Amino acid sequence: METSSIIGKLISGYLNDLVGSNSRSKISNRASLSIVWHLLSSLSLLFYFQLNASSSLISLLLIASMIGCSTSANVITLNIFSTEISSVTETNTKRSVGHKGLFMSITNMAIGAFLSGYPITIMSSTLGWSQTFFSIQIIISMIIIFDLIFIWKQRYDAIKNKCNNVLVETF
């Protein structure tokens, strides 16, 4: 699982560079990438519940690899995503969103550090790996939802400001 998490981090870094290289909407692409990683994590969770005592070692290794790769990749994607959220600007004014973006950025980074750090080891020794993995998936899905709400609100405000500016210019 540890080896697959390193591989997941490398794959995630490569995909984030590839997605962000020549696109206007990096934040939306990163949100989509994060959702794909989360769906892969959920799929591996479904496979995990299908394991039993007669499962082969290869299937166990494949599921552990999927879990490690998708969870670590999602944490890396959310950390990159959070740095871009903090630098979101309003379309017409070219000014930074400011403290709202910074708050979202710090929240994402803190939760990402928590998910990839020592507290998860403590949780897994107390609760077990399956409950820990399930709680990680819940935390990541909540972060994705909050980030998407933040992005949609920023876009709504930008469109609203643009419409207000057009109305002011016509009258």
Comparing 87 with 106, the larger pLDDT belongs to 106
Phi first, then psi, for residue 92 (nearest 5°) are -80, -35
Mean pLDDT calculated for residue range 3-27: 71
Average pLDDT, rounded, for the chain: 71
According to the model, what pLDDT value does residue 87 have? 58
Mean pLDDT calculated for residue range 62-80: 76
Q: Which of 15-24, 91-100, 130-139, 159-168 has the lowest mean pLDDT?
A: 91-100
- pLDDT score of 32 more than 60: yes
pTM: 0.55
Q: In whole angstroms, what is the distance from residue 130 CA to residue 17 CA?
A: 32
Write the secondary structure of 125-144 as one string of H (helix), E (strand) and C (coil).
HHHCHHHHHHHHHHHHHHHH
Q: Per-residue confidence at 43, pLDDT binned at 50, 70, 90?
A: confident
According to the model, what pLDDT value does residue 92 have? 46
Rounded alpha-carbon distances, angstroms, from residue 152 to 62, 115, 146: 36, 25, 10
Q: Which strand (E) or helix (H) includes residue 11?
A: helix 2-20
CB count within 10 Å of CB 96 equals 14
According to the model, what pLDDT value does residue 77 have? 74
Which among 30, 104, 110 is positioned nearest to 73, based on CA atoms?
30
Write out pLDDT tens, residues 97-148. 555 666 666 666 677 667 666 677 777 788 887 787 778 778 777 777 777 7
According to the model, what pLDDT value does residue 169 have? 62
| 96: β partners | 89
According to the model, what pLDDT value does residue 156 have? 76
Domain ranges of the chain: 2-170
| Second CATH level (architecture) for the domain 2-170 | Up-down Bundle (1.20)
